[in-house]
A and B are shown apart, each in its own frame.
Chain A
Amino acid sequence: MSNEDTPRKRTPSAAKSGARKSPAKATARAKTPAKAKTPVKRGAASRPAKSAAPRPSIREMSGGATVTDPAPTQPAGTFGEELLRVEHLVKHFPVLRGIIFKSKVGTVQAVDDVSLSIRQGETLGVVGESGCGKSTTARTVLRLLEPTSGAIYYNGQDIVKFNKDQMRRLRREMQIIFQDPFASLNPRMTVRSIVSEPLVIHGIYEKSGGAKYVADLLERVGLNPEHGNRYPHEFSGGQRQRIGVARALALKPKLIICDEPVSALDVSVQAQILNLLEDLQNEFGLTYMFIAHDLSVVRHISDRVAVMYLGKVVEQADRDTLYERPMHPYTQALISAVPIPDPQKERDRKRIILEGDLPSPLNPPPACRFHTRCWKAQQICRDVEPPLEDHGNGHLVACHFAEEAKVL
């Protein structure tokens, strides 16, 4: 991933990036002590400024000239209010034994104390290996799964406490796009009935314009409205994913959770769907929580990225910071595996290869969950769980030995 193509990549969403003046986090988590020392480190690790850096404020910060912290008080740039905040979300699945007399023999700690926040109009990427709890987090946020504990604030209201009726109304605000376009569409329904179903469910089919609206929707996602009478199996993977996008869009939601929406698609089709998602975001002011395991895809589409490992968020930062100056060893290892489309650079750089396998979430390692595979692990990592701490400018890292490294 060379520097040159980064600005170009973002050009389609020029409106968005142009408006993105200060990506600084509006979180109160920012800690001044951490700030005080980071500029020095930053300066050392700072990379040559990009020609069209979309985030000048970061550059200034890393220059170390000012330590004035814009984050805590200033509202966060262009992305409006905080739309979704997940606090200490826990989802455990009991492992039962027996048929009639069930006894609990274990707990899969799929999601363990995850905190995230997404602002209006923003795209939060969530990356991690298979089984690290990305999808469980997504489904719990939508309350398709009931959280074991924790709070999910949508527009300031804790939706975990919502009753059935409130939840039903909330469904118009948040939708999901699934990974597998072959499994996520009912094979016995026509495209038209799939896309109009959300409207029918909420009793607004006629009000929203009925068949005309559905046809417009299909056209907007790049499908021929005349194909409304066809069944999902008559379409290709990319086209089916467009149907899924149209369905998610039908209720004009504010937040769309994309659960690996392109992972099942051909590479060329992935780009089309990503472009579609970006266009729709600009057009409708959508907010995305974008889950993926493809780091390049996440880098392309996200404004901010959270890295998950075994049910926990280990690092969270805005996109460029995370990719260019990752601080958590796990993130560094992940990013060092992203191929660079420049053979010279690719040959020169160091790959970090992790030892061992992903531990079972049934019995995760104590304290820092990454210590079994970490080359930096010390005794403290086995004894004390590292908190997710702000290492400056909203760069959250959960590591005792967090340290910037250039791996790309």
Chain B
Amino acid sequence: MAKDMKRGATDMPPVGAISDEQVEDVLTPDQQTMAGTATAISTSAGVPASTAAGAEVALTLWGDVWRRLRKNRLAIIGLGIVGVLLITAVFAPLIAPYDTNDQRIDVASRCSGPCAPTLKHWMGTDQLGRDQFSRIVYGARVSVIVGVFAVGIALALGLALGALSGYFGGAIDALVMRIADVFFAFPYVLAAIVLIIAIGQGVGSIVVAIGIFAWATIARLLRASILSTKETEYVEAARALGANHWRIITRHVMPNSMAPVIVYATILIGSAILTEAALSFLGIGVVPPTPAWGYMVNAGKPFLTTRPYMIIFPGIAIVFTVLGFIFLGDGLRDSMDPRLR
């Protein structure tokens, strides 16, 4: 029986020698050399680490995530797509061969509308003779801006309200969650349309509309995550040390509650880009001369059967971008979920 063994262990060393010597004995190998230390720890850590798999966590959050993400092929593909998108958006003037608003009536009239892809315009031109490839390259800018800023707004609102709600609970929690319920009750795109009509068309409006309607999910996710984190013993230890709420939230609760939010935010960027495309397709998104993928799909609509390349290329851009973010988000989920470790 454990108690018996324990007693035995306690009583084993000779009288008087128990305290200092014993402690020292156990630790000297540790303290001698760094090399000795490493082995000592790895061997002694073996048992507890395997019994509590969930507790074996990150070096730093990102270092550990990256180690596991690297092994996930789909996530790396997603990361690649996202990387290409960002590079395209940032260096659009260097990549695009033509001016996006360079209307070539001669080209358009020669093809009587959009031209098919050629070597010069390898994604073709639109009904106004503008180079499709250049427009898709510049369209990446709109997508990135909408994705980043809309999710930025959603994160700012969602993290602040979710943290308040989850950490403090009670009346604050009830209030925030009921407001979130109201936002959940709106049909997302419909609400965005109403908002855009109210505050006017443009990239800014789309960003605000998406940001305002996406925070609720983030707040809920963070709240749920905090509810479990705030009950942990290290948070209790921090309270026992006299840490104030701000310190507990920023140093202890948030870093250990962020994983699901980071995953969701990544996927949300893709979904925001998709929403922007949908709004632009409906004609209430980006204001026309600005190249945007959804708007380009809309422009190609009349030529769907005759000149499908009008829709195919911006469509592919949308699909791949969104997929890229979803793959990345999925990969992050796998590498951040402690249960899958």
Contacts and interface: CB of A to CB of B under 8 A. Distances in A.
Interface of A: 1, 5, 8-9, 11-14, 100, 139, 142, 144, 167-168, 171-172, 175-176, 178-180, 182-189, 197-198, 201-202, 222-224, 226-227, 231, 233-240, 244, 247, 251, 266-268, 270-272, 274-276, 278-279, 294-297, 300, 338-339, 341
Contacts of A239: 41, 44
Contacts, number: 166
B199 interface: no
Given A197-B243, A201-B247, A233-B55, A267 B256 contact: no
B16 interface: yes
Interface stretch (B84-92, B109-117, B188-196, B228-236): B228-236
B240 A271 contact: no
B44 A236 contact: yes
Nearest to B30: A224
Interface of B: 1-11, 15-16, 18-20, 22-24, 26-27, 30-31, 34, 37, 41, 44-45, 47-49, 52, 55-61, 174, 232-234, 236-244, 247, 251-252, 255-256
Contacts of A296: 3-4, 6-7, 10
Contacts of B49: 233, 236
A14 B20 CA distance: 13
B37 A227 contact: yes
Given A144-B240, A184-B237, 7 more contacts: A184-B233, A186-B234, A188-B255, A197-B238, A244-B237, A268-B9, A275-B22
A182 B241 contact: no
Contact of A1 (B7, B233, B243): B7
A123 to B, nearest CB: 15
14 contacts: A8-B15, A180-B233, A182-B55, A183-B55, A197-B238, A197-B251, A201-B242, A224-B30, A236-B47, A236-B48, A238-B44, A247-B237, A267-B6, A341-B4
Contact of A12 (B19, B60, B240, B241): B19
Given A226-B34, A236-B44, A236-B48, A231 B239 contact: no
Query: A-B pairs with the 5 shortest C-beta distances?
Result: A171-B242, A184-B233, A187-B57, A236-B44, A12-B19
Given A11-B18, A198-B241, A275-B18, A297 B55 contact: no
Contact of A182 (B27, B48, B61, B238): B48
B236 to A, nearest CB: 6
A321 to B, nearest CB: 20
Which one of A1, A236, A266, A278 has the greatest number of beta carbons of chain B within 10 Å? A236
Given A222-B23, A339-B3, A11 B41 contact: no
B39 to A, nearest CB: 12
B19 A142 contact: no
B239 A267 contact: no
Given A176-B240, A271-B6, A9 B44 contact: no
Contact of B18 (A12, A184, A297): A12
Contacts of B5: 267
B82 to A, nearest CB: 25
A223 B2 CA distance: 26
A305 B255 CA distance: 40
Given A279-B19, A339-B3, A178 B236 contact: yes
Nearest to B252: A186
Contacts of B18: 11-12, 275
Contact of B241 (A9, A179, A188, A197): A197
A169 B176 CA distance: 33
Contact of B1 (A182, A183, A276, A339): A339
A220 B239 CA distance: 24
Contact of B58 (A9, A13, A188, A297): A188
Nearest to A299: B7
Nearest to A244: B237
